[in-house]
């Protein structure tokens, strides 16, 4: 009993969430009412048609056709068609515009969610919230809602008319209904459960496929196709089992329904025929009764699919609401006017998962206009320091300040606009080289400016040699660039952005010596006269910077210049001996 109550309560809660989503999608209630109204006209016209049919048949049998009646008959048909068409279009319009608003809102929200959210959630899952889940809600609004509404009118109307035409036959028909219900009800419930489970399984399966396809190179280089095939096979088999379970229930239900319908028709035609023969009802009435019979039965199948979609919609609502309830990044309010103030880490600690301490009470100061390098063994926390400066994550303890002001208070987009971040795994978007260099730029730039930036980044030369120069497609559907080339494009991107603070996470992958020379030159160009923090993996990068921080196990264990550290820090000496080729 308690279970039942709880379930009811939950359903009501998700129903109110559902309405909240409709509101968020700016559902046009006026149009919904207009659509429903047209639907009512369509249904009523549909209910009248059999009456005209009856009269026409009866007149035909007696003394020829009445012209007026034919005109009315045709008019009803036309009315039904036109009202139906407009109602369909209106409701589709309402559904589409609602889902467009909802998607727009959701997408905007997702883009502003903090990085930890994306650490916790697979992108495939987030994508299906935006595409599939919103579609389910759309179909409920634009199709099922009208269908059920009209279906109910049609059923009630047809039943009333049936009783009016001949209550005796109608009673016979209605004896069949409860009997059928009794048999089908439990099966229907079972079916419903299975269909929901199938949905879940399907989502899991496509999620899995997505992961594998994304890492197809890994799969191939480890010859893991067989393993993945087996994994996939298990899921495919389980999908098949659900499909078959569904089929078994169908196998029981559909012959029962067919038999019942057949029986009813036999009864109606047989008993009705007898009544026509004995002159108790007209032949036209019998035909009308048969048509109404269909108008009672048809909506029932629609209603069944309504309930399934309705349940699915509640599930979709829950998942969408979960995203909407995720807090977006703290935006801050102070506009930042200049970076000519020291940036300070004040006893900053950080943990990704709340358990493992990745940064441990780190403190350091970055003076404007100077260059700093972070070196140290892989996993020490260097990239994490950059992520905190970029405000991808927030310190678990301590704070980061600029000119004494907590950076969290500074308007987030102006903060990030002031930072150029060249990350370790250099992202290339699908598009041309030019689009890549200009990505996210909020001002117009001339081709000369782009080329100048590329020259400074030592990228111009290789770009010129690409088949279409700056117009060459790169990324997922274009030319694959080498690590060194990507890095130089990223540097060009940073130069064009002209940030006050530059964060460079050198790629760890081995570069060919030519690339290395180019990148070294590019870095020199871009670091000049600009506050720069660089995570260095190459000796050549660090020899000239003002200050080097040695980062180990989440702590800064030594600070100094290259020569100073060579004397004071054994770890630094060791790193230099190994030419820095560590993470
Ligand atoms: P470095 O750049 O010095 O090699 P990182 O800052 O990348 O070190 O990583 C420091 C530690 O934090 C490592 O143990 C790494 O596994 C962990 N780490 C890095 N990124 C994440 C993340 N997004 N979620 C959880 N742990 C992470
Ligand atoms: Mg790193």
Q: pLDDT tens digits for 60-111?
A: 887 777 788 888 889 999 999 999 999 999 999 999 999 999 999 999 999 9
Helices assigned H by DSSP within 278-409: 283-325, 382-389
**pLDDT the model gives residue 360:** 95
Closest CA to 329 of 135, 132, 477, 115: 115
Across the range 299-306, mean pLDDT stands at 77
| 163 close to ligand 1 (CB < 6 Angstrom) | no
Quick one: which ligand is closest to 552's CA? 1
Average pLDDT over all residues of the chain: 87
**pLDDT the model gives residue 241:** 93
For the cut 60, the answer to whether the pLDDT of residue 581 exceeds it is: no
How many whole angstroms separate alpha carbon 285 and alpha carbon 275? Answer: 10
For the cut 50, the answer to whether the pLDDT of residue 231 exceeds it is: yes
More confident residue, 205 or 12: 205
Q: Which of 110-114, 248-252, 456-460 has the highest mean pLDDT?
A: 110-114
For the cut 50, the answer to whether the pLDDT of residue 559 exceeds it is: yes
- What is the arrangement of strands in the sheet containing 501-505, beginning at the earlier edge strand? 419-422, 501-505, 531-535, 371-375, 547-552, 555-560
Residues in CB range of 576: below 8 A, 6 or more apart:
539, 566
**pLDDT the model gives residue 533:** 95
Across the range 121-130, mean pLDDT stands at 85
User: Among the listed ranges 378-392, 395-409, 478-492, 508-522, which one has the minimum average pLDDT value?
Assistant: 508-522
**pLDDT the model gives residue 583:** 47
For the cut 80, the answer to whether the pLDDT of residue 497 exceeds it is: yes
**pLDDT the model gives residue 8:** 67
Quick one: which ligand is closest to 385's CA? 1
Q: How confident is the model at residue 5 (pLDDT cuts 50, 70, 90)?
A: low
For the cut 60, the answer to whether the pLDDT of residue 2 exceeds it is: no
| 118 close to ligand 1 (CB < 6 Angstrom) | no
Angle at 217 between CA 212 and CA 218, to 5 degrees: 70
For the cut 90, the answer to whether the pLDDT of residue 135 exceeds it is: yes
Q: Residue 438 corresponds to which tokens in the numbers above?
A: 């200009």
Quick one: which ligand is closest to 583's CA? 1
| 381 close to ligand 1 (CB < 6 Angstrom) | yes
**pLDDT the model gives residue 1:** 43
For the cut 70, the answer to whether the pLDDT of residue 244 exceeds it is: yes
**Which candidate in 42, 143, 408, 506 is catalytic?**
506
Question: How deeply is 224 buried, as exposed, middle or buried, from its count of CB atoms within 10 A (0-12, 13-18, 19+)?
Answer: middle
For the cut 80, the answer to whether the pLDDT of residue 539 exceeds it is: no
Ligand 1 closest atom vs CA 381: 6
How many whole angstroms separate alpha carbon 510 and alpha carbon 512? Answer: 7
Ligand 1 closest atom vs CA 119: 23
For the cut 80, the answer to whether the pLDDT of residue 4 exceeds it is: no
For the cut 80, the answer to whether the pLDDT of residue 339 exceeds it is: no
Kindly give the distance from the C-alpha atom of residue 244 to the centroid of ligand 2, in angstroms, as a whole number: 50
Kindly give the distance from the C-alpha atom of residue 381 to the centroid of ligand 2, in angstroms, as a whole number: 7
Kindly give the distance from the C-alpha atom of residue 374 to the centroid of ligand 1, in angstroms, as a whole number: 15
**pLDDT the model gives residue 6:** 66
| 119 close to ligand 1 (CB < 6 Angstrom) | yes
Catalytic-residue membership of 325: no
**pLDDT the model gives residue 263:** 83
**pLDDT the model gives residue 3:** 54
- What is the arrangement of strands in the sheet containing 397-402, beginning at the earlier edge strand? 359-366, 343-350, 397-402, 405-406
Share of the chain above pLDDT 90, in %: 40
| 378 close to ligand 1 (CB < 6 Angstrom) | yes
Q: How confident is the model at residue 547 (pLDDT cuts 50, 70, 90)?
A: very high
Across the range 165-174, mean pLDDT stands at 84
Kindly give the distance from the C-alpha atom of residue 217 to the centroid of ligand 1, in angstroms, as a whole number: 23
| 387 close to ligand 1 (CB < 6 Angstrom) | no
**pLDDT the model gives residue 33:** 92
Kindly give the distance from the C-alpha atom of residue 384 to the centroid of ligand 1, in angstroms, as a whole number: 6
| 347 close to ligand 1 (CB < 6 Angstrom) | no
* Shortest-distance Cα residue to atom 26 of ligand 1: 352
pLDDT in tens, 200-211: 788 788 888 888
């Amino acid at each position: 009993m308690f279970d039942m109550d709880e379930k009811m309560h939950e359903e009501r809660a998700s129903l109110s969430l559902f309405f909240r989503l409709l509101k968020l999608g700016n559902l046009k209630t006026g149009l919904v009412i207009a659509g429903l109204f047209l639907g009512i006209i369509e249904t009523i016209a549909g209910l009248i048609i059999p009456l005209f049919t009856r009269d026409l048949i009866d007149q035909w049998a007696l003394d020829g056709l009445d012209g007026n009646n034919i005109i009315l008959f045709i008019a009803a048909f036309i009315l039904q068609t036109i009202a139906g068409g407009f109602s369909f279009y209106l409701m589709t319009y309402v559904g589409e515009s609602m889902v467009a608003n909802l998607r727009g809102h959701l997408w905007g929200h997702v883009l502003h969610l903090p990085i930890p959210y994306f650490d916790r959630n697979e992108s495939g899952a987030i994508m299906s919230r935006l595409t599939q889940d919103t579609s389910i809600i759309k179909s409920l609004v634009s199709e099922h809602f009208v269908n059920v509404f009209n279906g109910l009118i049609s059923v009630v109307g047809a039943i009333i008319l049936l009783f009016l035409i001949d209550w005796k036959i109608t009673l016979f028909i209605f004896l069949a209904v409860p009997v059928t219900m009794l048999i089908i009800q439990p099966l229907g419930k079972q079916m419903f459960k299975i269909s929901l489970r199938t949905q879940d399984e399907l989502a899991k399966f496509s999620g899995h496929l997505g992961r594998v396809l994304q890492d197809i190179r890994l799969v191939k280089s480890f010859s893991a196709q067989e393993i993945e095939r087996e994994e996939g096979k298990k899921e495919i088999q389980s999908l098949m089992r659900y499909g078959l379970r569904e089929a078994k229930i169908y196998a029981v239900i559909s012959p029962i329904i067919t038999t019942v319908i057949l029986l009813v028709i036999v009864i109606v035609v047989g008993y009705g025929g007898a009544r026509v023969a004995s002159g108790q009802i007209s032949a036209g009435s019998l035909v009308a009764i048969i048509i109404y019979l269909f108008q009672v039965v048809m909506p029932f199948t629609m209603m069944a699919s309504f309930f399934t979609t309705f349940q699915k919609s509640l599930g979709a609502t829950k998942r969408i609401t979960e995203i909407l309830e995720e807090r977006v990044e703290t935006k801050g309010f102070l506009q930042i006017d200049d970076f000519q103030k020291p940036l300070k880490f004040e006893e900053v600690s950080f943990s990704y998962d709340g358990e493992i301490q990745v940064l441990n009470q780190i403190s350091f100061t970055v003076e404007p206009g100077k260059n700093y390098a972070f070196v140290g063994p892989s996993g020490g926390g260097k990239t994490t320091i950059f992520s905190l400066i970029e405000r991808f994550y927030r310190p678990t303890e301590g704070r980061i300040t600029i000119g004494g002001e907590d950076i969290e208070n500074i308007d987030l987009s102006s903060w990030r606009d002031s930072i150029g971040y060249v990350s370790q795994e250099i992202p290339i978007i699908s598009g041309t080289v030019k689009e890549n260099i200009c990505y996210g730029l909020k001002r117009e730039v001339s081709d000369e400016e782009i080329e100048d930036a590329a020259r400074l980044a030592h990228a111009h030369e290789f770009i010129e040699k690409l088949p279409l120069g700056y117009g060459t497609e790169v990324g997922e559907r274009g030319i694959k660039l080498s690590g060194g080339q990507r890095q130089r494009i990223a540097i060009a991107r940073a130069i064009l952005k002209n940030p006050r603070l530059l964060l460079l996470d050198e790629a760890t992958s081995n570069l060919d010596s030519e690339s290395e020379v180019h990148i070294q030159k590019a870095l020199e160009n871009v670091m000049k006269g600009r506050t720069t923090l660089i995570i260095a993996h190459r000796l050549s990068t660090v020899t000239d910077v003002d200050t080097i921080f040695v980062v180990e196990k989440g702590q800064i264990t030594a600070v100094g210049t290259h020569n100073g550290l060579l004397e004071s820090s054994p770890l630094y000496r060791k790193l230099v001996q190994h030419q820095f080729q560590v993470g």
